């Protein structure tokens, strides 16, 4: 007997809601996209065109007024709304998924975690980059001991956008929680913590490069992990030449991988998980390379097949967690630990100091 699908309300139908959350929710067995909340009539029309059975609402309050009809709320609205909306949803008795960053401070994230625990409700954070193809591949390599003891982990999310695009993500207003440190920085810090554990020291440089830009658009973070690994993390909108996505150096070998996981581009182009048998697969020409002493740019080392990326696995895990069949895939306390690092990085960049955690 097939279980009745869990009904999902999605707040926000901009980039995050329309490109990532809605397609992944709709593609997940056991979940049904019930309602999309957006005050924008064009986005309401877009949602109904893409998902003919979906209902629309103009405000979150409309959603919370019929909380009894829903099983999960997903918050994909601007960063500054994450805490108040998650709080309202939890108080309405609804489990919640919040896009990253869950909050502007680690203290707020822990307060939300405490509220969710008090109410006995799931509170999960959408860290989809844990299911990137290169990250899954690197986790396997580390588990198999292919690189030996890791000494340095380099991770980059670099883009070439010499003109600011505007919008809340590039706002200099602290209330907006904009800038690359909290946007792409949330991903690279989360990945580093998952791979190598807690951090003891943080050093950062956050620079505004582009004329007219209001907040950091070229940022570097150096982490010292308690286990001894050093992570060097780069997030930039001003990289005229893109570096490797990963460069991982160990006592036995190194792994270098260029290029981004193809899932985001596929979702932006309208492809959907399950529509093709090779979802998340990468062309062999883009595989990373493993070697010791050779240059991957001249064909040194051996190619390492990239595992398929698997964004659908996040919502599948959320569905399992809601039914009591598995753990929360990304907890609010994990997100709070990443925010501890991001807050320390911001302080380091402002005060030009190394911050001890």
pLDDT, tens digit, for every residue of 183-201?
999 999 999 999 999 999 9
Domain 6-126 shares a fold with domain 132-310+340-356: no
Cis peptide before 282 (omega within 30 of 0): no
* Amino acid 2: pLDDT: 61
Question: How many helices and strands in the chain, by DSSP H and E?
Answer: 11, 15
State mean pLDDT over 285-303.
88
Q: Which CATH superfamily is domain 6-126 in?
A: NAD(P)-binding Rossmann-like Domain (3.40.50.720)
To which residue do tokens 């080392």 refer? 301
Burial category of 285 from C-beta neighbours within 10 Å (exposed 0-12, middle 13-18, buried 19 and up): exposed
Domain boundaries, the chain: 6-126, 132-310+340-356
| In the block, residue with structure tokens 């390379």 | 289
Find all residues with CB under 8 Å of 294, minimum gap 6, and list them. Answer: 300, 301
pLDDT for residue 291 is more than 60: yes
| Alpha-carbon distances of 279 from 38, 160, 270, 274, rounded to whole Å | 29, 27, 13, 7
Q: What does residue 159 show for φ and ψ, rounded to 5 degrees?
A: -135, 165
Residues paired with 32 in a beta bridge: 7
Asked: is 132-310+340-356 a CATH 3.30.360.10 domain? The reply is yes
Q: Could you tell me which residues come within 8 angstroms of residue 19 by beta carbon, excluding any fewer than 6 positions away?
A: 264, 267, 268
Q: How confident is the model at residue 253, as a pLDDT?
A: 97
Q: Which residues of 7-17 are buried (b: 16+ CB within 10 A; e: fewer)?
A: ebbbbbbeebb
CA–CA distances in Å: residue 179 to residues 14, 182, 237, 346, 355: 18, 6, 10, 11, 20
pLDDT in tens, 102-155: 999 999 999 999 999 999 999 999 999 999 999 999 999 999 999 999 999 999
Please compute the mean of the pLDDT values over residues 57-63 and round it to a whole number. 97
Output the pLDDT for position 41.
97
Question: What does the DSSP 8-state code read for residue 241?
Answer: S
Q: Which residues pair with 97 in a beta bridge?
A: 74, 124
pLDDT for res 193: 98
Residue 64 has pLDDT above 50, yes or no: yes
In degrees and rounded to multiples of 5, residue 353 shows phi and psi of: -135, 165
Instruction: Tell me the pTM.
Output: 0.95
334 confidence band (pLDDT: 50, 70, 90): very high
């Amino acid at each position: 007997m097939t279980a009745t699908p869990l009904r999902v309300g999605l707040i926000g139908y901009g980039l995050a809601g329309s490109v990532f959350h809605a397609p992944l929710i709709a593609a997940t067995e056991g979940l049904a996209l019930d309602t999309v909340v957006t005050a924008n009539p064009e986005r309401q029309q877009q949602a109904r065109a893409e998902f003919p059975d979906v209902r629309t609402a103009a405000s979150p309050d409309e959603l919370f007024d019929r909380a009894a009809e829903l099983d999960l709320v997903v918050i994909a609205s601007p960063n500054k709304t994450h805490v108040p909306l998650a709080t309202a949803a939890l108080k309405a008795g609804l489990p919640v998924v919040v896009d990253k960053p869950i909050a502007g401070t680690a203290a707020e994230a822990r307060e939300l975690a405490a509220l969710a625990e008090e109410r006995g409700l799931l509170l999960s954070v959408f860290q989809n980059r844990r299911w990137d193809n290169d990250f899954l591949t690197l986790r396997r390599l580390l588990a198999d001991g292919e690189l030996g003891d890791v000494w340095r982990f380099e991770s980059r999310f670099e883009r070439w956008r010499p003109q600011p695009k505007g919008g809340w993500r590039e706002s200099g207003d602290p209330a907006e929680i904009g800038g690359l440190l909290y946007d792409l920085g949330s991903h690279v810090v989360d990945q580093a913590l998952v791979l190598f554990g807690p951090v003891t020291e943080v050093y950062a440089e956050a620079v505004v490069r582009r004329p007219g830009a209001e907040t950091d658009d070229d940022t570097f973070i150096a982490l010292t992990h308690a286990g001894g690994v050093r992570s060097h993390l780069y997030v930039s909108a001003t990289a005229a030449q893109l570096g490797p996505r990963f460069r991982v150096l160990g006592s036995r070998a190194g792994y270098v991988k260029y290029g981004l996981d193809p899932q985001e581009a596929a979702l932006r182009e309208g492809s959907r998980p399950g529509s093709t048998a090779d979802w998340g697969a990468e062309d062999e020409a883009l595989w990373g390379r493993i070697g010791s002493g050779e240059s991957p740019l001249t064909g040194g080392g051996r190619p390492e097949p990239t595992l398929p990326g698997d964004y659908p696995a996040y919502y599948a895990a959320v569905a399992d967690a809601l039914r009591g069949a598995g753990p929360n895939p990304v907890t609010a306390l994990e997100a709070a630990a990443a925010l501890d690092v991001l807050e320390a990085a911001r302080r380091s960049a402002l005060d030009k100091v190394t911050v001890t955690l």
